[in-house]
Structure 1
Amino acid sequence: MARVLLFGRLADQAGWREREIEAADLSTLRASLSQADPVLGEALAGPGVQVAVDKTIVRGEAALSAASEVAFLPPMSGG
């Protein structure tokens, strides 16, 4: 099972910061999260949200293993 981490407003919105979820790839993981919580699924697909798999930012698809760590990072603002 992949270790899923949510940060910032994503964690606040979901009501959790860490979960173990069974998924073979990133698209399956996103679908599972969206099915369980459609509002969270919409937030994860929003502009500026980045995904890191095993501490590396990925764009598009990525395979996951039982030891994978997937972090969803909200958009950052700075000044």
Structure 2
Amino acid sequence: MAKPITLLYFAQFRELFGCSQETLDLPDDVATLNDLIQLLCQRGDVWQEQLGGDKAFRAAINQDMVEVTATIPAHAEIALFKPVTGG
């Protein structure tokens, strides 16, 4: 059974991906954040360029910062954003 989630894109990701949020029904084989990132990279072009390989980005599931190995629960809110830098 598909698992509904909400994806939120912040800052540069919002501009590059052309949206600030979307709702997805995850297939059964997408269980972790890493699985989700691989699914998004299959969209090609800018998705692969920004999220593929060892690209630096941060993620939160239900407002908790997580690693790519984190499990995605049903009805999760997942935020993706570039690392914060300062000086």
Q: Indicate the percent of aligned positions where both proteins have the same amino acid.
A: 26
Alignment pair present for 1:63 and 2:66: no
Secondary structure in structure 2 of the residue aligned to 1:16: coil
Where does residue 31 of structure 1 map in the other structure?
A: 38
Give the helix-richer structure, 1 or 2: 1
RMSD of the alignment, in Å?
1.6
Q: 1: CA distance between counterparts of 2:36 and 2:48?
A: 10
Q: Structure 1, unaligned stretches of length 5 or more?
A: none
Q: Tell me the CA shift for residue 42 of structure 1.
A: 2.8
- Residue type of the alignment partner of 2:77: E
Q: 1: CA distance between counterparts of 2:35 and 2:24?
A: 10
Over alpha carbons, which structure has the higher Rg?
2
Q: 2: CA distance between counterparts of 1:34 and 1:19?
A: 15
Where does residue 8 of structure 2 map in the other structure?
A: 5
- Residue type of the alignment partner of 1:21: L
Structure 1 residues 18 and 60, CA, compared in 2 at 3 Å: closer, same or farther? same
Q: Structure 2, unaligned stretches of length 5 or more?
A: none
Contact 2:12 2:81 (8 Å CA) reproduced: no
- Please report the TM-score for the alignment, with normalisation by the length of structure 1: 0.82
Q: Which runs of 4+ in 1 moved over 6 A?
A: none
